[in-house]
Amino acid sequence: MNRRGRSLLALLGLLLLVLPSVADNYVLSLATLFLFFAYTGQAWNILMGFAGQLSLGHALYLGIGAYTSAALFSHFGIGPWAGLWLAIALSSLAGVIIGFLALRFSIAGVYFALLTIAFAEFARIGFDHFTWVGGSGGLFLKVLQREQIDLLNLRGTPTVFYYVILTLAAVAFLACSWLMQGRAGYYWQAIRENEEAAQALGINVFRWKMLAVIISAAMTSLAGVFQAFYYNNLFPEQVFNIARSIEIILGPIIGGIGTLFGPIVGAAVLTLLADSATELVAALGWDLPGLKQLIYGVALFLIIVFLPHGIWPRLARTLKVPQ
């Protein structure tokens, strides 16, 4: 990255660091949402953007992370910092099972995507009847005083949650850029571009694909842990819903698949877009159901039509920074 790029990145970092001291709670909640999707988008991008495996079921890993940590907390009083390890382990296991099935039976491309959807749907239906964690009625975490900060149990003010997700997003960004500059980045891109040629050059395709699945799943499950303690309620119909998986992947797709900044830019644009659509509908006073979604959809459509490679590659050229 050139100097210009580094200074712009530093500026963005600084802006995000001081945001809570200037923003009100509403803006802070928007920023938290933005970072949440920047983080999950980054995790998904490892699998799709780097290694070329399309997952449409990332809600599965999100849900496993959320339910594991929430169940440990509500049933046994085990805090999220201990619970997240089990969350990582279980979602990695789910990733291994899906990855193994896909690779063992050569399920690739759209069929791999269908497999990931199927597993997320199994989980949604399964958790609907899993009464130990509330079934379809939902699982609720005890909400303490919001002003009381208890970092050990991840309870606190919106500012606390903001900084937690900011840290996650920043670490994910750094981890991804480190991965991309190393052997893993080269191997994943080789596999993405041509699996047969990659294998002929000595790359163990199975092993490296599995690694991508596991890293992606583990990262996504951490977002799930965050989600559980941020919202304090979990419903299978929401958590494992395919709409959730789509929400995760929209950011990197809009921002630029396979790029480091794509998921961040995409998440920012989507968050602002959703909010502007709401504001616009409110300002116009048109209380039509679905209008907000319609505006959102049309805007997405326009972005995809005019920037098929995502916003970031175009933006990078404008800013004169490398992608």
Partner 1 sequence: MTPLLTLHGVSKSFRGLRAVSNASFGVESNGLVALMGPNGAGKTTLFNLIAGVLRPDGGEIYFDGKRIDAWRPDQVCAAGIARTFQIVKPFAGLTVVDNVVVGALQRAANLKDARTRAEAVLTTLGLSAKRDLPPQTLTLAERKRLEIARALATQPKLLLLDEALAGLRPTECDELVATMRDIHKREGIAILIIEHVMRAVMALAHRVVVLHHGEVIAQGAPAEVVRDRAVIDSYLGEDATL
CA distances from 211 to 53, 173, 243 (A): 12, 18, 26
Based on the shown chain and the rule CB under 8 A, indicate whether residue 147 belongs to the binding site for partner 1.
Answer: no
Question: Which residue, 164 or 257, has its beta carbon nearer to partner 1?
Answer: 257
Question: Which residue, 190 or 239, has its beta carbon nearer to partner 1?
Answer: 190
CA distances from 105 to 115, 155, 196, 214 (A): 11, 44, 17, 18
Based on the shown chain and the rule CB under 8 A, indicate whether residue 194 belongs to the binding site for partner 1.
Answer: yes
Report the nearest approach of partner 1 to the CB of residue 199 (Å): 4
Based on the shown chain and the rule CB under 8 A, indicate whether residue 214 belongs to the binding site for partner 1.
Answer: no
Based on the shown chain and the rule CB under 8 A, indicate whether residue 187 belongs to the binding site for partner 1.
Answer: yes
Q: Which residue shows structure tokens 């951490």?
A: 222
* Three-state DSSP state, 136: helix
Question: Which residue, 189 or 233, has its beta carbon nearer to partner 1?
Answer: 189
The residue type of 249 is: I
Q: What residues have CB less than 8 Å from 83, skipping those under 6 apart?
A: 68, 69, 72, 73, 225
Report the nearest approach of partner 1 to the CB of residue 205 (Å): 7
Question: Which residue, 51 or 88, has its beta carbon nearer to partner 1?
Answer: 51
Do 139 and 233 touch, CB atoms closer than 8 A? yes
* Three-state DSSP state, 91: helix
Based on the shown chain and the rule CB under 8 A, indicate whether residue 261 belongs to the binding site for partner 1.
Answer: no
Q: Which of 15, 181, 246, 320 binds partner 1 (CB under 8 A)?
A: 181
Based on the shown chain and the rule CB under 8 A, indicate whether residue 204 belongs to the binding site for partner 1.
Answer: yes
Question: Which residue, 168 or 176, has its beta carbon nearer to partner 1?
Answer: 176
Contact positions with partner 1 (CB under 8 A) in 230-259: 258
Question: Which residue, 2 or 204, has its beta carbon nearer to partner 1?
Answer: 204
CA distances from 162 to 15, 25, 31, 85, 234 (A): 13, 10, 8, 21, 20
Query: Considering only 68-76, 199-207, 227-235, 263-271, which stretch makes contact with partner 1 by CB under 8 A?
Result: 199-207
* Three-state DSSP state, 234: strand
φ, ψ dihedrals at 178, nearest 5° = -70, -45
The residue type of 199 is: Q
Residues in contact with partner 1, shown as a per-residue x/- string from 51 to 70 under the rule CB under 8 A: --------------------
Report the nearest approach of partner 1 to the CB of residue 169 (Å): 25
Tell me 150's DSSP state: B
Report the nearest approach of partner 1 to the CB of residue 200 (Å): 5
Report the nearest approach of partner 1 to the CB of residue 188 (Å): 10
Which residues are 155's β-sheet partners?
A: 150
Query: Considering only 12-20, 26-34, 38-46, 179-187, which stretch makes contact with partner 1 by CB under 8 A?
Result: 179-187
| Helix runs in the chain, H state only | 3-22, 25-45, 59-76, 80-104, 110-128, 158-180, 183-193, 195-200, 205-231, 236-239, 242-255, 262-284, 291-306, 311-319
User: How many binding residues for partner 1 (CB under 8 A)?
Assistant: 21
Residues lying near partner 1 in the complex (CB under 8 A) are found at 181-183, 186-187, 189-190, 192-194, 196-205, 258
